Every structure is written in structure tokens, then in C-alpha cells.
Amino acid sequence: MEIYERIKRLRKNTLHLSQTEFGQRLGVSRSVIANIELNVLARPDQKEPLYKLICKEFHVNYDWLISGKGQPFSEDLEEDEYVRATAEIDIKDPKARRAIIDYWHLTNEDKELFWKFMDRFAKKEQED
């Protein structure tokens, strides 16, 4: 399998993103993604920076993307599901995206309070 085929499979079958959504995450147009997947990118010098951006944005293992060797995702991730979830939330669920960003900005004390509330909420839901 060639690089452009791995990119298409990654986008479509693993991340479940359209060409438009994938391009939005990378800051390029849908036509750039289509050209990469067809292996007809007008300027080949654009490929390498885009490959690195794909790896950074979606936590893809660079060696896998370039050569097909190893695992598709960086080993420091617990599971591929995390990458798919964050990619989908970022594009399709603006409320969840905002909640994640807001949580990230909380103080450690507020994060503890949040998780205490969530634990109580989960217990209440289980009782009902």
C-alpha cells in the first residue's frame, strides 16, 4: 500500500471523516485532500509538510504513514478510539469541544470538584 492509500484509509475507515472535515483539521481545502488521495498533488514539495501535519494532528506514527511499518498510531496513545473521538468531537460537536476546552482551563481544585459532581451524577443515574 502506498502513502496516499494509507492516508485515504486513515481518513475514511479509521477517523471516519469526510475529505472536507479532514482538510479543515489540517487547514487545507477538500481539493488538496482529494489530490493527495489520488496521488496527483500539483506541487510534490507540499507532500512532506502535509504528512507531518497529519501525524501531528491525528497522532499518527510517521514511520507507518511513510513506509507502512509499525502501528498506525503513536504508541503513547491508549487506543485508536481516542483519536477518532477527538477528531469527530472537534468537527461535529461544538458543545463538547467547548466543554473540553473549558475543563482544560479549570484549576486543579475546580477539576476535583467537577469529578466529584460527575461521580455523584453517575451514581444517581445508576440508581434510577
Phi, psi of 75 (to 5 degrees): -70, -20
Angle between helical axes of 19-26 and 30-37 (0-180°, round to 10)? 110
Candidates 2.40.30.260, 1.10.1740.10, 1.10.3720.10, 1.10.260.40; CATH matching 3-92? 1.10.260.40
pLDDT of residue 21: 94
Query: Hey, which residues does 73 pair with through a beta bridge?
Result: 60
Give the per-residue pLDDT at 106: 94
> How far is the C-alpha of 54 from the C-alpha of 32, rounded, in Å?
13
Walking along the chain (128 residues) 10 residues at a time, the average pLDDT comes out as: 94 93 93 93 80 89 91 65 70 84 93 93 75
Can you give the pLDDT at residue 113? 95
So what's the pLDDT on residue 81? 66
Q: Which residue has the cell 507532500?
A: 47
Whether the CA torsion 62, 65, 66, 68 is positive or negative: it is positive
27: left (phi over 0), alpha (psi -120 to 50) or beta: left
Question: What pLDDT score was predicted for residue 16?
Answer: 92
pTM: predicted TM-score of the whole model, two decimal places: 0.59
